[in-house]
Structure 1
């Protein structure tokens, strides 16, 4: 590496830090911090946080760097993969009425059940949980499909399914209880509430971090734009490398500390951009202020009020999930119990880590608005919220006619969230003509 290039890299790094590998030139000992991108047998490509890429000759790097690159060049361990079209083609070949259905049904909602089964056949979805409520009562609780990946055992009511982003309204409700109790104010700076200055990653962090408030996070106005810089909460590999962890050791606090090292994309409050990171931070606020774990606090407050006790945190590893939680389909679909997700569900708890029954989610919708505010009897508004993760398509609604519903499927399309609108459209189209009969 020539001196001019090295100096240029140093200048860039000084203006735009990245918590990444430290690369060392063997002959001089000079160091550069940058992120690994790719490599060939003779050179490695690195990227600075500002997005600029450079190629370095592998032979000029330290033995440790060369060993690291060689490790990246090794083929990934072989994984037995069963393609989605092979494993679930049987669903697409079925007639909708052949998909098993169980649970308590309201006679007027038969067209909705039919619409859901048609969706399952068209998409190849092997399991859906669905519930409808009104005036504080569950009127319709149905499960469609199978409880096992071999599609032999019919799915029964009471099954818990991961909510994906439908977790966020629950987080908002928990924050509102702290505000109502006077333990937290919407204008409180999250940097101060969480005492983030104690972490080394906060030294020299973007000064705008200290202006981000609780309300900014609730409103998705915290300053992070996943369209501009990507959703960094899914960068599990970078985080485990940074903190020298095994994948299963990654926790939400590591995501927060990693986030401290990154620049904000805009001034907090200036615009609204959907942000998973904000809700991971909000769960840390809940735990810090309450002195309880996220789920313990929810059980003592939000879920107690809603009388919805099935909620729990979902685990990435099927062997660690609580009893009663379903299996999930991924693209591609993996048959083994340990699912190699690109991130850990546990580390993104507030962004989408909760699981519950569809009926309990409706109970939550009866007690709280999707905004998180307590719901008063008789009030009628129209709100909806979706969730999408690998293995999950979920939709929920609070309708102006007083009906609430939640539908959760254990599969999603190859493109994130491309099934949510379709599923919602089918449910609403079937529900609208019969809504007045659902009492």
Structure 2
């Protein structure tokens, strides 16, 4: 396949993994009994076929897909195998790191409203005093959002998944609070000088979430829902919970178990339910949504409107001061970007998401398509890659000979 049209590459990095200490047997879907909901669209049957083949090969029991073309929602489907409750197009899934585009947009909205600038220093905004590493004074919001803040998980690990270490170091109980993670990190040396190296950092987005709260005077969730989602009539999106489910939210599956970080008992739990804290993941990976919600959100970036103006949208796609790979791809503000030379917008943009029990993908193409794909697991005994959903979706899109003229958005947003 022409690599200029593929989305994923160097920047296909998602929310980090919680440590696994055991396994549970995954149920096979080799002889799947399919339940597919939403309007069937014969011209787009290739998308259905690709989703089913992907899920069946990995034993995935719940999946969801939404596709847009030229701003119209043309496909919205839920897929399940041998499930007591069928997945609906409006069912909710954890979206993991797809949350980052939401957090980045919230920062841009605050800048648009004159509350801060991308050049604002994080220590000033959050009142952080005397961090161990004086280079904290060079961490700006822009650097946070482009993963240039100075933390490299490959060197020192991802603090958003070091709950037991932080609990022991600070003498505080689990479940941790955001303030605990920040206090711990200000006592550590940065891995590199801010602005000198791209290194995917969940912690940077945790900090951005706290900036949103400090500057707006609202909770992170309330600010996003009021200023970003409500103007788009997106009403289902919310922050997820570690154990309890929202109404309409899917159950999550994994072959692994791990030790809980929700308390200090050390109890073994199913990986999706307590091996990481949804509370501390909020701004970097905590949202739940449906696939139609996500392509509705993605449409917001196509033109200035009620959420972001043209100046703000331009900043989303601006190249960083460093971290552009040899092929020209880079991380903008909450989106990975691959320039293309075949017209349209001149870029493919995307993000992946991954947590125990969650694998997600959101793509915007240079020629007016977008799709969101959500699954209720990211691992299984087959060992097959979940990243393969990206070329599968491109294959389905290339196979469409005539795009339908209908628009399903009014059916799901009113």
Which residue, 55, 71, 74 being the options, matches 1:139? 74
Q: What are the Cα deviations for residues 109-134 of structure 1, in whole angstroms up to 9, with x where unaligned?
A: 11111110100010111101111123
- Check 1:204–1:115 CA distance in 2 against 1; reply closer, same or farther (3 A cut): closer
The whole-number CA distance in structure 2 between the counterparts of 1:337 and 1:390 is 9
- Check 1:414–1:101 CA distance in 2 against 1; reply closer, same or farther (3 A cut): closer
List aligned pairs for 1:337-348, cutoff 5 A. 340-348=273-281
TM-score where L is the length of structure 1: 0.72
The whole-number CA distance in structure 2 between the counterparts of 1:107 and 1:187 is 49
Which stretches in structure 1 are left out of the alignment for 5+ residues? 1-78, 198-202
Per the TM alignment, residue 374 of structure 1 is displaced from its structure 2 partner at its CA by: 3.8
Which residue, 367, 382, 394 being the options, matches 1:428? 394
Per the TM alignment, residue 302 of structure 1 is displaced from its structure 2 partner at its CA by: 1.3
Q: Is the Cα–Cα contact under 8 Å of residues 395 and 407 in structure 1 kept in the other structure?
A: yes
Q: Which residue number corresponds to residue 181 of structure 2?
A: 255
Kindly report the root-mean-square deviation, in angstroms, between the aligned alpha carbons of the 2 structures. 2.8
Q: Which residue number corresponds to residue 92 of structure 1?
A: 30
- Asked if 1:118 corresponds to 2:53, the answer is yes
- Check 1:226–1:382 CA distance in 2 against 1; reply closer, same or farther (3 A cut): same
SS at match of 1:253: helix
Q: Which residue number corresponds to residue 297 of structure 2?
A: 364
The whole-number CA distance in structure 1 between the counterparts of 2:145 and 2:302 is 14
Q: What are the Cα deviations for residues 339-359 of structure 1, in whole angstroms up to 9, with x where unaligned?
A: 553321211211211110110
SS at match of 1:315: coil
Q: What are the Cα deviations for residues 361-388 of structure 1, in whole angstroms up to 9, with x where unaligned?
A: 0000000269x85489x95642111111
The whole-number CA distance in structure 1 between the counterparts of 2:272 and 2:347 is 39
SS at match of 1:394: strand
SS at match of 1:143: strand
List aligned pairs for 1:391-430, cutoff 5 A. 391-413=357-379, 419-430=385-396
Which residue, 114, 117, 123 being the options, matches 1:185? 117
SS at match of 1:93: coil
- Check 1:115–1:302 CA distance in 2 against 1; reply closer, same or farther (3 A cut): same
Q: Is the Cα–Cα contact under 8 Å of residues 254 and 271 in structure 2 kept in the other structure?
A: no
Per the TM alignment, residue 391 of structure 1 is displaced from its structure 2 partner at its CA by: 0.6
The whole-number CA distance in structure 2 between the counterparts of 1:418 and 1:386 is 17
Which residue, 313, 322, 346 being the options, matches 2:246? 322
The whole-number CA distance in structure 2 between the counterparts of 1:374 and 1:226 is 29
- Asked if 1:209 corresponds to 2:142, the answer is no
Q: Which residue number corresponds to residue 18 of structure 1?
A: none
Q: Which has the larger radius of gyration?
A: 1
TM-score where L is the length of structure 2: 0.76
Q: Which residue number corresponds to residue 332 of structure 2?
A: none
- Check 1:291–1:436 CA distance in 2 against 1; reply closer, same or farther (3 A cut): farther
SS at match of 1:265: coil
Q: Which residue number corresponds to residue 296 of structure 1?
A: 222
- Asked if 1:352 corresponds to 2:285, the answer is yes
Q: Is the Cα–Cα contact under 8 Å of residues 252 and 349 in structure 1 kept in the other structure?
A: no
Q: Give 1 or 2: higher helix fraction.
A: 1
SS at match of 2:203: helix
SS at match of 2:388: helix
SS at match of 1:309: coil
